[in-house]
Structure 1
Amino acid sequence: MLTHSFERGVLVLTLDDDPPSGARDVLPRYISDLIHAHRPAPVVVVLSAAATTAVISAVLHAHRMCSRLNVLMSVATPSAATRRAFEAQAVPGGPRLVIHARSDIAVDAAYAAVA
């Protein structure tokens, strides 16, 4: 489900699969706790493939929290449909959610932005 690592000063959260139905409610809290523990480090959320509505919602919740904390956050997913879903659901007028197709580029960009 959710794993995390710290690469070049960037917190990388990886969601490999859709969480089981019982874990969907706690996913935003897990993400939030990790972001709080590692702030002010930038965050990259890596999604393996197409994400469900629950995962997209949890990531957008985390993005709003990162915006309040002034923490840079981006998403990496190879799924074009998921990237479009994030673009469509991002809050207009708020900080832009940066979306990448590759996780290595997302980590490099986050590292460069805060270096």
Structure 2
Amino acid sequence: MTVDRRRSSPTPTAPVRIAEADGRHAVLAFAGDLDAPALRVLEELLLDHRLREPTAWTLDMSALEHIDLACAYALLRAVTGTPEREVAITVRGARPAVHRTLRHAGVDTVVTFAP
């Protein structure tokens, strides 16, 4: 007798997604762990055409458990990479460990933190 051990697992959710975006404001929602395996997803998302116009971004990190330095640096590069266009960025709901990693990467110099 053969036992089929395959299980249907739910499709994993992306650690970051664009929750909303219009011409003025974009909200990026983060969840779970943002680490090396997710770096490419993050970098591709930060190049999304919907993020080109907004002059204000909100990074909702209330569901983010962990971010590694590589991903924090990717955020910093995205924010500082286009000096001809200024974007006001607010980080909401960052847990202490996430806040600490963002601070270590220097992200705190270009964003505002909100509860």
TM-score if structure 1 supplies the norm length?
Answer: 0.61
Candidates 52, 75, 85, aligned match of 2:68: 52
Greater share of helix: 1
Does the CA contact (< 8 Å) of 2:57 and 2:88 recur in 1? Answer: yes
The equivalent of 1:111 in structure 2 is none
Where in structure 2 are the equivalents of 1:46-85 lying within 5 Å? 46-47=60-61, 48-49=63-64, 50-65=66-81, 67-85=83-101
- Seen in structure 2, the aligned counterparts of structure 1 residues 64 and 89 have a Cα distance that, compared at 3 Å, is same
The alignment partner of 2:43 has SS state of: helix
CA RMSD of aligned residues (A): 2.9
Q: Deviations over 1:54-88 (max 9, x none)?
A: 33122112221354421212322331122122223
Unmatched segments (≥5 aa) in structure 1: 103-115
Unmatched segments (≥5 aa) in structure 2: 1-13
| Identical positions, percent | 20
The alignment partner of 1:70 has SS state of: coil
The equivalent of 1:110 in structure 2 is none
Greater share of strand: 2
- Seen in structure 2, the aligned counterparts of structure 1 residues 41 and 75 have a Cα distance that, compared at 3 Å, is same
Give runs of ≥4 in structure 1 deviating > 6 Å.
none
Where in structure 2 are the equivalents of 1:24-35 lying within 5 Å? 24-33=39-48, 34-35=50-51
User: Which one has a bigger Cα radius of gyration?
Assistant: 2
Candidates 15, 21, 24, aligned match of 2:30: 15
Q: Once the 2 structures are TM-superposed, how far is the Cα of residue 42 of structure 1 from its aligned partner?
A: 0.6
